[in-house]
Amino acid sequence: MNIHPYFGSSAKVWDDISWIYEIEDAGFAGWEICADGNYHFGRTESYTSVIETLASTSLKATVHAPYGDLNPAAINEPIWKETVRQISDCIKKAAPITNRVTIHPGYLSCTGKLVPGKIWELQKEALKIWGRVGLEYGVLACIENMPGIPDFLCQYPEEILGLIEGIEGIGFTIDFGHANTIGKVDAFRKYIGQASHVHIHDNQGKSDEHLPIGAGTINWTRLSSDLMNKYSGIVVVEGRSIAEAKQSYAKIRGWVS
């Protein structure tokens, strides 16, 4: 199989870390660590717990950078600087365990909407900094497309590709669950060969539900064919529970049978 199924869950960032042993038991090759909540790399005890627990398994890892209360499009300069600092730190600390870190783009505040050009510049500058950090530490920082939530940036492929164009050290995470919330799965499928990283989950096309594969409206026949034939790398199932993760894993195994 040219794709490597991992599991990640932002719903579990406050859970005791012992749940990750179930990822291995479910058959997944790795864990996408959501570096927030109890697993935030900015706290020594949290980071140490992640590294030591991961080492006690056979799981490989990728990392999702923190995003709670952060905004790389913040017009408020102290917030922007803190966002850049925390994600730069995450990239550095992720380097011993992975070469991929997924990052959320920004969103428009009420004041940011008044200066869209400035917002674009702020995001580009943040990406340039993260790209340089990534190149130094051997990590590709991958910007993720966002779901259909008002004021979130980078919901469309052309927007996100335009944002990262020409910036060294920056890649592209395609989240097909997010794409489905705006009816753009097929639009993102066209760029699957350019993806540096992939997230998959399902929904009914209206909100970011993180349902198991096959429980929503995504056409998995078409998408799985593209994943198997045009993409080679990690595919992270983002889910709410291990029970639902097992349902998704069974579907993935069916793609190669």
Give the start-to-end residue ranges of the domains of the chain: 62-234+247-255
- The pLDDT assigned to 256 comes to 79
Q: How far apart are alpha carbons 224 and 216 in whole angstroms?
A: 15
Q: Residue for token digits 């990750």?
A: 20
Can you tell me whether residue 71 is helix, strand or coil? Answer: coil
Asked whether residue 1 carries a pLDDT value surpassing 70, the answer given is no
Q: Residue for token digits 């950090």?
A: 133
Measured CA distances, 212 to 182, 205, 241 (Å) = 18, 14, 9
What six digits make up the tokens of 9?
A: 């869950």
pLDDT digit string (tens) for 199-254? 999 999 999 999 999 999 999 999 999 999 999 999 999 999 999 999 999 999 99
Query: What is the model's pTM?
Result: 0.97
Averaged pLDDT, 18-35:
97
CB contact at 8 A, 164 and 139:
no
- The pLDDT assigned to 180 comes to 98
- The pLDDT assigned to 199 comes to 98
Is the CATH number of domain 62-234+247-255 3.40.140.10? Answer: no
pLDDT digit string (tens) for 60-95? 999 999 999 999 999 999 999 999 999 999 999 999
pLDDT digit string (tens) for 126-173? 999 999 999 999 999 999 999 999 999 999 999 999 999 999 999 999
CB contact at 8 A, 29 and 59:
yes
CB contact at 8 A, 8 and 37:
no
